[in-house]
Amino acid sequence: MRLECYSLTFPHGFHMPAADNAPNSPASTNPLPMTAEEVAARGWESVDVVFVTGDAYVDHPSFAMALLGRLLEAEGYRVAILSQPDWHSCKPWQTFGRPRLCFAVSAGNMDSMINHYTANRKVRNDDAYSPGGQIGRRPNRATLAYCQRAREAYKGVPVIAGGVEASLRRLAHYDYWSDKVRRSILTDAKPDLLVFGMGERAIVEIVRRLDAGEPIARSRDLRGVAYRLGASETPPSEHTIELPTYEAVSTDPRAFARMTRLAHHETNPHNARRLVQYHDREAVVVNPPAMPLEEAEMDRVYGLPYTRRPHPAYGEQPIPAFGVVKDSIQIMRGCFGGCTFCSITAHEGRIIQSRSQESITAEIRRMAQRPDFKGTISDIGGPTANMYRMACTRPEVQAKCRRPSCVHPTICKLLDTDHGPLRELMKSARGQEGVRRVLVASGLRMDLAQRDPKYLEELAAHHVGGHLKVAPEHSDPEVLRLMKKPSIENFESFAQKFAKVSRKAGKEQYLVPYFISGHPGSDLPAMIDLAVYLKQNNYRIEQVQDFIPGPFDVATCMYHTGIDPMTGEEVYVAKGANQRRMQRALLQYYRPENYRDVRRALEEAGRTDLIGPGADCLIRSTPPKEARTKKKPPRRRAKNAGYRPHRK
């Protein structure tokens, strides 16, 4: 069978359906219904779309199910939320009856495996996206279970997968938790369509077409969509790149590295080509990414009537992730940093999409009118704090560019790094009635910030609550090159300038630097040098980031293959619990409980000169009292022990 609908279409904007096509009432200020009783209370006999999510339902634009659900509601569709259903049977999927149009399935705001497990593959003790932080509210690989139950509940109802988990697993990928290359999630979960990226345009257009009576297969021409073809179907050939097959990438590290390089070179929506990857006789087809939203579209999406609260069904149970964003304002999305260990660019895109100042200040005014607002906006930012309105100054060059990062190894000369619009926005935000403070809690891009001394002064004087998050990540030049991060000298320069403007503002303020242990390229000597650097500069790191190889990331390819996919060079990788534990301990060398691991690392690296009473030594020759107590050996777990949803 050959499909004929292969030319890509480019839906632009969101428009309300014509009166004769708008089957439902306009958006309301109540949360979307989570129960059959709430559906009946609205006078609905059925729903059009059921959003299935692994997160608790929080009606806030930082939560995908709320943003997309509200958008479809504003388009005139009846939307219900099936939040954290019991996946052991399909009965919860029948809560609202047969959906008229489709199920929209997502594991939640995080990949479910990262949500469940630490970098050491241990079960996490809480879930920030569940009421009360409870674990066990979603399964491992939630997208697979949710799609299967949706098909069981009502045969013939289209199933659309989306969200971070589906987005980053759309091709064959290395799975850290099973330590193997897994097939595309399309071949395992078998949704009718997969929407990758943020998904607003795609989900609206798909639902419109379903509402018009078109079969789900007719939406395979959309941008930001991936799908699976059967053995008898032929994938398109025009403007298409064929990736190494699943069978090749699962056995050959060089093939996996080549796949990664090709896929990441096709992420610019202005010039990206379609990707095809065979899994045996089936083909996975990934269309080019969706075009970035225009300012008016961003304003509409974030201006929908969110309650900005968890659904009342949760009562007094707090949802930890909501507490973080409760009083925050997202001003933009996307990131052109291209850090190899980060999924933001892969999911949100590298083109910055900004809201208008009017839209942002209108949201602040609405927030300030709430009786529980205390006068402080906890964060005004996005994936980064200071990329607002930054863009390429030469659209004709941007349309051809395949550079993975606009700021590495140097800041592109065509990048507009003007902080003026952001300074104006910050000034306007803190001047709104009822607002006492507007803080910046998003991570700051230091190389960009140093280009605007006025921005640094504004930031230090008005928008730092004592501590400012920055992410130098490492001190070793080679590791930083592999990360696509600036040199440590850039961090030092920023630290000096930030201290100066803080003194000028009459404030005592500090940087909170984030560093990563276990990143590809980082061996014991590099981590020891970082530990020495931290001691010499009097930094005591309280929060340590262990590198977690997330699906689709370039650094994950390095971890799995030992190859930099962009250059083909071999890369050192710290594998095994002992190596990773020593690297982590070195970042917190001063803690007594880390003494033995630090000492072993120093001895293994031949750096016993750092053991002793000297001022430059990391640890003393004699262990502290807390480290002398003999620890019990860790209890061995079964080789295939998995997530224990009902663990107390």
Domain CATH for 629: 3.30.750.200
208 lies in the same domain as 333? no
Look at residue 643 and tell me if it is in a domain.
no
166 lies in the same domain as 63? yes
562 lies in the same domain as 613? yes
Look at residue 199 and tell me if it is in a domain.
yes
172 lies in the same domain as 93? yes
Region label for 506, one of left (φ > 0), alpha (ψ between -120 and 50) or beta (otherwise): left
Name the residue range of residue 440's domain: 327-463
Q: Is the confidence at residue 467, as pLDDT, over 60?
A: yes
Q: Is the confidence at residue 4, as pLDDT, over 80?
A: no
509-526: pLDDT as tens digits: 999 999 999 999 999 999
pLDDT band at 639 (very low <50, low <70, confident <90, very high): very low
- For 568, residues 6+ apart whose C-beta sits below 8 A from its C-beta are 257
405-435: pLDDT as tens digits: 999 999 999 999 999 999 999 999 999 999 9
Q: Is the confidence at residue 563, as pLDDT, over 60?
A: yes
Burial code (b: 16+ CB inside 10 Å, e: under 16) for 192-217 equals bbbbbbbbbbbbbbbbbbbbeeeebe
In the predicted model, what is the mean pLDDT of residues 275-290?
97
Q: What are 312-316's contacts with CB under 8 Å, separation 24+?
A: 312/31, 313/34, 313/35, 314/56, 314/131
Q: Which of 14, 74, 69, 50 has the alpha carbon at shortest distance from 205?
A: 14
* Residue 105 contacts residue 136 (beta carbons within 8 Å): no
Top pLDDT among 1 and 327 is at 327
172-221: pLDDT as tens digits: 999 999 999 999 999 999 999 999 999 999 999 999 999 999 999 999 99
pLDDT band at 444 (very low <50, low <70, confident <90, very high): very high
Helix, strand, coil shares of the chain, percent, nearest 5, are 35, 15, 50
440 lies in the same domain as 526? no
Q: Which H or E run contains 83?
A: strand 79-83
Percent of the chain with pLDDT over 70: 92
Look at residue 322 and tell me if it is in a domain.
no
Region label for 312, one of left (φ > 0), alpha (ψ between -120 and 50) or beta (otherwise): alpha
Predicted confidence at residue 420, as pLDDT, reads 97
496 lies in the same domain as 417? no
459 lies in the same domain as 507? no
260 lies in the same domain as 399? no
459 lies in the same domain as 486? no
DSSP 8-state class, residue 570 = B
57-68: pLDDT as tens digits: 999 999 999 999
502 lies in the same domain as 383? no
Predicted confidence at residue 16, as pLDDT, reads 37
271 lies in the same domain as 255? yes
Last residue of a domain, one of 463, 480, 507: 463
Q: Which of 391, 383, 297, 300 has the alpha carbon at shortest distance from 351?
A: 391
Look at residue 2 and tell me if it is in a domain.
no
Q: 52: which strand partners?
A: 82, 105
Look at residue 314 and tell me if it is in a domain.
no
What is the rounded CA–CA span in Å between residue 540 and residue 247? Answer: 46
Domain CATH for 437: 3.30.750.210
Last residue of a domain, one of 270, 286, 302: 286
Q: 161: which strand partners?
A: 105, 194
63-107: pLDDT as tens digits: 999 999 999 999 999 999 999 999 999 999 999 999 999 999 999
Look at residue 37 and tell me if it is in a domain.
yes
Out of 4-8, 250-254, 350-354, 394-398, pick the least confident. 4-8
* Residue 402 contacts residue 268 (beta carbons within 8 Å): yes
- For 516, residues 6+ apart whose C-beta sits below 8 A from its C-beta are 341, 473, 474, 483, 522, 545, 546, 547
In the predicted model, what is the mean pLDDT of residues 318-337?
96
What is the rounded CA–CA span in Å between residue 439 and residue 458? Answer: 11
Top pLDDT among 456 and 23 is at 456
100 lies in the same domain as 240? yes
Predicted confidence at residue 625, as pLDDT, reads 84
Look at residue 177 and tell me if it is in a domain.
yes
603-621: pLDDT as tens digits: 999 999 999 999 999 999 9
Count of structural domains within the chain: 3
Look at residue 313 and tell me if it is in a domain.
no
Last residue of a domain, one of 463, 491, 509: 463
Q: What is the 3-state secondary structure (H, E, C) of 39-61?
A: HHHCCCCCCCEEEEECCCCEECC
In the predicted model, what is the mean pLDDT of residues 389-394?
97
Pull the structure tokens for residue 227.
Answer: 């799908």
Predicted confidence at residue 630, as pLDDT, reads 54
Percent of the chain with pLDDT over 90: 90
Predicted confidence at residue 29, as pLDDT, reads 75
DSSP 8-state class, residue 456 = H
Dihedrals φ, ψ of 257, to 5°?
A: -65, -40
The mean pLDDT of the chain is: 92
Q: Is the confidence at residue 640, as pLDDT, over 50?
A: no
